[in-house]
Structure 1
Amino acid sequence: MKKILNYIFLASILMYSSACDNNFDELNTNKVSATVIDPAFQLNAAIVGCAYPNGSLVYDVGVVQQIVTPNSGLVSGANYNQDNRTLTQELWQGYYRNVIKNTRDVINQVEEDPARANLMNMARIIQAFAFMVLTDDYGSIPYFEGGKGYSEQIYLPTYDSQEVIYADLIKELTEATTALNLSGKIESADILYGGDLNKWKNFGYSLLLRAGMRLSQVDPITAAQVVQTAVQGGVILTNEGNAQIRHDANYTNPIGNFLNSTEASNFYLTKPFVDYLRSNKDPRLSAIAVTYVGAKSGPEQTLANQTYDASVHLGMPMGSDNVGAVSAASTLGLASFYEFAQADRRRITKNTSPTFLVTASQNNLLMAEARERGWISSGTVEEYYNAGVRAHMNQLGLVDVGSTISTSEINQYLQENPFEPSVALEQINTQYWVSSFLNGPEAFANFRRSGFPELTPNPYPGKEVEFINRLTYPNSEISVNSENVQAAISAQGADNLATKVWWDK
């Protein structure tokens, strides 16, 4: 009897277990969770990921002596000309993880689908932008194998030389831009241009123009050919076509967020930058800067004591640590270093300020140089130069109405600071420096390429180099991908701030 009861009990358990398993998979499947995503949204993620990180402010913008902080520690970098790998790694990690990973996946998903050919070529253009920024800042990088950990399980990618990378970037930009089909599918979900392929073409050719000009010192023959192709194709020449990430409350500008939170009172415009604008009575100084008169601390930087008056703005001397900044402020009769001019976080560096990738101002100035070099034949150097200056001054008013510069102010500036053919390259590239304010990677790249403006070396006594020429590789790469990193270092030069990238002559 006991055995019979045991068998009945066991059978009951088995029947119950069987009943529990019935429709188990169906019951445990989330029917409202997405199992696929339109690759157009991945392209949007890549575009948002192109926004420049905080490390770009500390290094790229700092190297070209526009904004610095006197503080040491986490935010130290170009103001001390010292290596801080916590910050030099930000661009690398952000771009590989958030941009290239997504563009690689988009391309893999749609390359066999003729109906999504435009999306694939848009992804190629964004990918080329990201790789150009990376190689310009670091030199040799994982290019052909970079970002293929998911698609091809390449977890330890080899590094490619910048010379090889640029050859392929030019090929990619030429092919992808030319292949955009105005009769093909319009990818209206695209957040950069809303699927406007004419603007995408202008963007692609603008990057090609930029790539060609990068070669001006190292390969002028190829540079001229590439520039001609870009200009003939049609580049961005008005602010309506600017390639910009439009930030909002959900997707804030990283640098704007940085300067409106814990670092609000820690970063200042530099003396070289402010002095240049002041000496030329440039109306952009009032549009960009704010001074908090009499401020002796961060909390005293209030609306009540702010001024945009250019005659009041003073820039912080380069290489000033906390002690040096205090001394410099005292010498100038300021209440404290909190009274040095800042980029106005309520206008030009808001959380929602756009991130500019390529602008009409930059393109007009590059074309002015190309015309000066005889690489293009249309227009005059002066016309392109004036158009570049105008475009940037007008661009500031598009960022915030409070930074609007009137047409009369622009005309007066150009009359008082006319184009001078005898110093054409210096004048053009110094304007490019101003025009690329807050576009750190591009300002840093063009400064090294052109040699302008002529900046005085950082005077900080503990500096590691006279001028920073590149960013250093992340420690994570050195420890995990050591063999390939060491091969790149052997070919390129020491992994320090002094080593130059290939096109920097």
Structure 2
Amino acid sequence: MKTKFIKHITLLSATLLLGAGCTKDFVERNTNPNSYNQTNFDPNYMLTSAELAYTGSTDFAYETWRGNLIYCSTFMQGFSSVVSYWAGDKYLLNEGYTAAYWEKSYSEQVKPIVDIIEWTKDKPQYKNLTQIARIVRALIFQRLTDLYGDVPYSEAGLGYYEKVFYPKYDKQEAIYADLLKEVSEATDALDAGGDRPAGDAIYQGNIDKWKRFGYTLQLRIAMRLTKVDPETAKSYATKVAGKTLTIEDDAFLKHDGSGGRTTNNRNSQVLLGDGGQENFYVKWSNTFINNLKSNNDPRLSVLACTKLYDDENDKTQNANPNFSAAAQKGMPNGLDFSTPGHIVTADPSFTSFPDYSSPSPYLTKRDGPTFILTYAESELLLADAAERFGLGDAATHYNNGVKAAITYLKQYDAGATISDNAAQAYVNAHPYAGLEQTNVQYWILTCSMLDFYEAWANYRRTGYPDLDPVNFPNNATSGTIPRRFPYPSAEAVNNPDNYGPAHGSVPGGDLLTGRVWWDKQ
């Protein structure tokens, strides 16, 4: 994707995108297409916009900061923070933060992707664009339903087309069934001889790669059902065997660091301190660092460094931070500056904040990639499926997945390259031993991708890794790791007739401790 094109669409996105199915001024936003319509706007631009929004890289993208980093990264003990508003680290509820992904996703992801499908579904010249949009729509909604449970799905984004101004909440069981149907149909319908969508910022219109992506997404969606519908999980794992991503197919969006806030890697903006004190007080959790360190993991000296900043008021990185594996030290979760029994400076591990491990500058480059779905993920999911269902050689998939989860890091930066020999040595030292080991590796991988949404979802599916929860005073979960985000309270006003039944039917209550349909004990 050319820099000029990325800049053009991202600058337009803030003003062009319409409101979604569940926001203030719903009727007005869904009946007035404003700056674009079928006659004056290329639908390729909306694909770019939706892809950028999904990766949290448009406008301020506060949902990435609040949902992925402040909450999911600390739930999963990937990151730790003593900053007071990083509520997820202590299992505290900030309703504005847990609602952020819902608000931004419906307005900046769902609406443009539904527009593409509605505008192009009967136009042969856009055949592949339509199918890619269906796949991206499923990608968007899997994350939404994994975070919240039952959500507006079948009617979402259709206000302009069908005058559905207050969309119903579909049951998650029905959403998952339709996601599998949609991705399966769309993947099969992709045509290598058809159009190559110019607005595709992920694969630049490469239809073969999108096919493999589609098969892999079917695998990930289906494997989420291992507790509630193992037969469906098994059938899709069988169906996609041999068709999933190869090592050359990692799906990521490469950012344009020169384009200002609208095109930057949002993870880098937060972790470099653009939003506050994150540059100095957000560290890798000791749970994550201790795992890498105790297993002589070669990723440690690429993912983490100490001495990245010397002064909380100086956002200039040190030119030579310490990448030595021996120097790395994670910060415990559940600490702050003033709560008795939880004061960070009183912790036995504390010496100084620069001595704790920061996310490596390789991961936080403003023009770096945001990873969406990778070959390593697909192989680890296939290893899980092989072990559960007797489908093929679990050890081979595990070995492939772990090695790729190490060597893929070079795509962040050449300095993050780990040799094939080093990766193979790690695999040899940690031979396949079953589901727990496979899913701990999935946790390491998704944390290294900074995709903590996915790390949290897979943890809830499998129970791995075995994390020790924190028990901060007055937390919202009685000291248990949260299981879902509550619905935005604004829904009680904006969509009351549909919100009420959904709010009242969450297993365990509409709380951080409630559970989505597929999350069983």
Q: Percent identity?
A: 35
Check conservation: 1:468, 1:498, Cα contact below 8 A.
yes
Alignment of 1:231-250 (within 5 A): 231-232=241-242, 234-238=243-247, 240-249=248-257, 250=259
Q: After TM superposition, list the pairs within 5 Å mapping 1:314-329 onto structure 2.
A: 314-323=329-338, 327-329=343-345
Maintained 8 Å contact 1:128/1:172:
yes
Matched with 2:418 is: 405
Separation (CA, whole Å) in 2 of partners of 1:490 and 1:118:
40
Alpha-carbon contact 2:74-2:88 (below 8 Å) kept: yes
Q: Deviations over 1:435-485 (max 9, x none)?
A: 101111111110100110000112322221111000122232232112211
Gaps of 5+ in 2: 1-36, 57-63
Comparing 332-341 and 457-466, the one that deviates more: 332-341
Aligned to 1:54: 65
Contact 1:360 1:391 in 2 (8 A): yes
Question: Match for 1:480 among 488, 491, 494?
Answer: 494
Q: Is the 8 A contact 2:308 2:358 kept in 1?
A: no
Any conservation in 1 of the 2:280–2:309 contact (CA below 8 Å)?
no
The DSSP-based 3-state class of the residue aligned with 1:322 is: coil
Q: CA deviation at 1:295?
A: 3.8
Q: Secondary structure at the match of 2:306?
A: strand
State yes or no: 1:112 paired with 2:122: yes
Cα pair 1:80 1:462 within 8 Å, conserved? no
Q: Give 3-state SS (helix, strand or coil) of 2:279's partner.
A: coil
Partner of 1:386: 399
1:329/1:337 contact within 8 Å kept:
no
Gaps of 5+ in 1: 1-32
Residue 299 of structure 1 aligns to a residue in which SS? coil
1 CA distance for matches of 2:313 and 2:291?
26
Question: Which of 195, 199, 206 is equivalent to 2:209?
Answer: 199
Looking at structure 2, the residues matched to 171 and 34 of structure 1 have their Cα atoms a distance apart, in angstroms, of: 27
For residue 328 of structure 1, report the CA deviation from its aligned partner: 4.2
The TM-score normalised by the length of structure 1 is 0.87
After TM superposition, the structure 1 = structure 2 runs for residues 132-281 of structure 1, keeping only pairs within 5 Å, are: 132-232=142-242, 234-238=243-247, 240-249=248-257, 250=259, 251-260=263-272, 261=274, 262=276, 263-281=278-296
Deviation at 1:188, TM superposition (A): 3.7
1:357 and 2:372 correspond: yes
2:416 is the counterpart of 1:416: no
Matching of residue 308 in structure 1 with residue 323 in structure 2: yes
2:79 equivalent in structure 1? 67
State the match for 2:110 in structure 1.
100
Correspondence for 1:13: none
* Alpha-carbon contact 1:245-1:354 (below 8 Å) kept: yes
Contact conserved, 1:68 with 1:78, CA < 8 A, in 2?
A: no
Which residue is 1:36 aligned to?
40
Q: Aligned partners of 1:209 and 1:302: how far apart in 2?
A: 40
- Report the CA distance between 1:302 and its aligned residue: 4.1
Q: Distance in 2 between matches of 1:300 and 1:157?
A: 45
Post-superposition offset of 1:57:
1.0
Q: Secondary structure at the match of 1:237?
A: coil
Sort the Cα spacing of 1:81 and 1:166 in 2 relative to 1 into closer, same or farther, 3 A. same
Out of 439, 442, 449, the residue aligned to residue 451 of structure 2 is 439
Asked whether the 8 Å contact 2:92–2:476 carries over to 1, the reply is: yes
Which residue matches 1:492?
A: 506
Supply the distance in 2 between the matched residues of 1:186 and 1:229 (Cα, whole angstroms).
Answer: 26
Question: Is 1:90 aligned with 2:100?
Answer: yes
Q: Give, in whole Å, the separation in 1 of the partners of 2:510 and 2:110.
A: 23
Structure-2 change in CA distance of 1:106 and 1:34 (3 Å): closer
- Give the structure with the higher percent helix: 1
Q: Which residue identity is paired with 2:45?
A: F
> Does structure 1 conserve the Cα–Cα contact (< 8 Å) formed by 2:245 and 2:374?
yes
- How far residue 300 of structure 1 moved from its aligned partner, in angstroms, is 8.5
Return the alpha-carbon distance in structure 1 between the equivalents of residues 281 and 352 of structure 2.
12
Q: Quick one: distance in 2 between partners of 1:294 and 1:127?
A: 40
Distance 1:430 1:116, change over 3 A: same
1:406 alignment partner AA:
S
Cα distance in structure 2, aligned partners of 1:274 and 1:412 = 19
TM-score (structure 2 length as normaliser): 0.85
**AA aligned opposite 1:441:** Y
Higher CA-based Rg: 1
Once the two structures are superposed, residues 150-179 of structure 1 have per-residue CA deviations (whole angstroms, 9 ceiling, x without a partner) of 333322211011101001001001101101
**Matched-pair contact (CA < 8 Å) for 1:313–1:340:** yes
Deviations 1:371-396 (A, max 9, x none): 1123523xx21111111111111111
CA drift at 1:326: 8.8
Work out whether 1:292 is the aligned partner of 2:307: yes
In structure 1, distance between residues paired with 2:253 and 2:400: 23
AA of the residue aligned to 1:153? K
User: Matches of 1:294 and 1:188 in 2, distance apart?
Assistant: 41
Q: How far apart are 1:335 and its partner, in Å?
A: 3.9
Q: Aligned partners of 2:245 and 2:349: how far apart in 1?
A: 45
